[in-house]
């Protein structure tokens, strides 16, 4: 499965390793993704999502239902929940 947050759309970024001699080689910056289960009280079921740690903080602030609704509107969440 790809390294993309299902709620925020964060994905792998590309950059450079820069040595002391200023040599540049390509590298990747990976998002900090965690596989997490959430309970949806409206539908009375559990869902497993791969989310970034930033998304977990936002879920604690806004709630899982609001985050899923926003992700569907933005097109990040493709599966039916």
pTM, two decimal places = 0.84
User: In the prediction, which pLDDT does 80 show?
Assistant: 64
Structure tokens given for 38: 């959430």
Q: Which domains does the chain have, with CATH numbers?
A: 13-74 (2.30.170.40)
pLDDT greater than 90 at residue 29: yes
Taking only the tens place, the pLDDT of each residue in 46-81 is 999 999 999 999 999 999 999 999 999 999 887 666
In contact, 37 and 48? CB cutoff 8 Å: yes
* Residue 31 pLDDT grade (very low, low, confident, very high; cuts 50, 70, 90): very high
DSSP 28-49: EE---EEEEEEEETTTTEEEEE
């Amino acid at each position: 499965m790809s390294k993309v947050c299902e709620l925020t759309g964060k994905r792998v970024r590309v950059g450079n390793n820069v040595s002391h001699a200023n040599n540049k080689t390509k590298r990747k910056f990976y998002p900090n993704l965690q596989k997490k289960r959430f309970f949806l009280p409206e539908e009375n079921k559990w869902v497993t999502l791969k989310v970034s740690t930033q998304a977990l903080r936002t879920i604690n602030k806004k709630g899982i239902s609001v985050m899923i609704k926003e992700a569907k509107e933005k097109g990040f969440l493709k599966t039916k929940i």
